[in-house]
Structure 1
Amino acid sequence: MARFNRHDESFDSPKGFSALNPRPNRSRDRFGRFTEAIARGMGTPWFLLGLTIFAIVWMGFNTFAPPAWRFDSYAIGFTALTLILSLQASYAAPMILLAQNRQDDRDRVQFEQDRQRAERNLADTEYLAREVVALRLAMKDVATKDFIKAELRSLLEELEKEEAPSTAKPVAKTPAKPAAKKAPAKPATRPASRTSK
């Protein structure tokens, strides 16, 4: 009996689940959506207003608070605030670029879909134009009501012309038979009267 070898690369047996290299359960797109959300948030006036208020409060507190409470000295140029804003800017720029790349990919896909839709619309329009031309050509061959009336009228006139000579022909006179000669009328004779003697 063959022994099972885990490192065997044959395709007839399934490769087992490795605990060292677990398959990621999360979508690769989740980080992209996260960066887009941050970039979208940074592009709003509320973010700019909040960052301005944060910087004013930070500088005001470290300038006017009692020296024991200050954690970022005005004398050294608000080093902690500068560090925070630099870190924020260094992370914001790549996130904005990632979001812009994702938007470019979406725009490319949208452009491709728009191009395919435009090609389909053009093909449909050309097909419909050909069909309309074919219908116009076919309608030229179709007999219209006026054409049928004119044809029927001409046929009726031809029939009337053909029938008119046959009805107007004079009837051929048959030669009259000579009248039979009458025998001359016999004079009426009186019967002889008897004379009495």
Structure 2
Amino acid sequence: MDADRKRPGDGGPGQRIQGELRELRQLRELRAREQRGRREERPSPSGGSRTRLDQPRTGRPGLVRLPAWDPEAFGKLSERIARFLGTGRFIVWMTVVIIAWVVWNTLLPESVRFDDYPFIFLTLMLSLQASYAAPLILLAQNRQDDRDRVNMEQDRARSDRNIADTEYLTREVAALRQGLGEVATRDFVRSELQSLLKELDERRESADTL
């Protein structure tokens, strides 16, 4: 038997050491990432209940107590109004009201008119509507920005989990490849059998000659 012949993967202690070092390095990176996340979530000692820098502090209670309301319900109402203001139905209804207003105060007798030309009361109503529409639209946009930020944070956390899972699967695949590299292949077994048969034939020939 040829003693100098080695199986594939037998002479790879360096590869094993490199694989173990790579796994240790990845584990250190994961631990450092977890510690960094815990440090960011830890509340600051001087900020009270504030745990994030991008969120304003809650104001101190003043001397005059303002009436309380549900910000979530008010935000939903503002979103509904802003959504309605951005539709064609609102434009059509506003156009119909303005035309009816102008016709009523122009063509009808003066006894039934309530806003003669230049329609000051109509201008006041439109200005009031615009002054309320702008803050409601901004409030709806702020709520949408908050939802987008939450979705972005969730996507980031999901991508981090996917990266960790991918790294784990990569390590497992590398371990499987390394294990398969140490298994005897069909060609290796065939060559070993051929060498054994050749050695047996040589011994038989030597025995016959004797």
Q: TM-score normalised to the size of structure 2? A: 0.62
Describe the shift of the 1:145–1:55 C-alpha distance in structure 2 as closer, same or farther (beyond 3 A). Answer: same
2:120 maps to 79
**Equivalence map 1:179-194=2 (5 Å):** none
What's the CA shift string for 1:117-138, capped at 9, x where partnerless?
A: 1111122222222322332232
What's the CA shift string for 1:118-160, capped at 9, x where partnerless?
A: 1111222222223223322322222122222222222222222
AA aligned to 1:65 is L
Aligned with residue 51 of structure 1, among 89, 94, 101 = 94
**Equivalence map 1:31-50=2 (5 Å):** 31-50=74-93
Q: TM-score normalised to the size of structure 1? A: 0.66
2:166 maps to 125
Matched, 1:139 2:180: yes
Moved over 4 A (4+): none
2: distance between equivalents of 1:93 and 1:63?
31
1: distance between equivalents of 2:132 and 2:107?
31
1: distance between equivalents of 2:113 and 2:177?
89
Aligned with residue 70 of structure 1, among 113, 127, 145 = 113
What's the CA shift string for 1:16-56, capped at 9, x where partnerless?
A: xxxxxxxx8x8541111111111111111221222122212
2: distance between equivalents of 1:65 and 1:155?
119
1: distance between equivalents of 2:104 and 2:202?
120
1: distance between equivalents of 2:110 and 2:178?
97
AA aligned to 1:163 is R
AA aligned to 1:49 is V
Aligned with residue 209 of structure 2, among 169, 182, 187 = 169
AA aligned to 1:31 is F
2: distance between equivalents of 1:161 and 1:27?
97
Matched-pair identity in %: 55
2:129 maps to 88
1: distance between equivalents of 2:97 and 2:107?
15
Instruction: Quote how far apart the aligned CAs of 1:103 are.
Output: 0.9
2: distance between equivalents of 1:64 and 1:156?
119
CA RMSD in angstroms comes to 2.1
Structure 2, unaligned runs of 5 or more: 1-67
Q: Give the secondary-structure state (helix, strand or coil) at the position aligned to 1:70.
A: coil
1:61 maps to 104
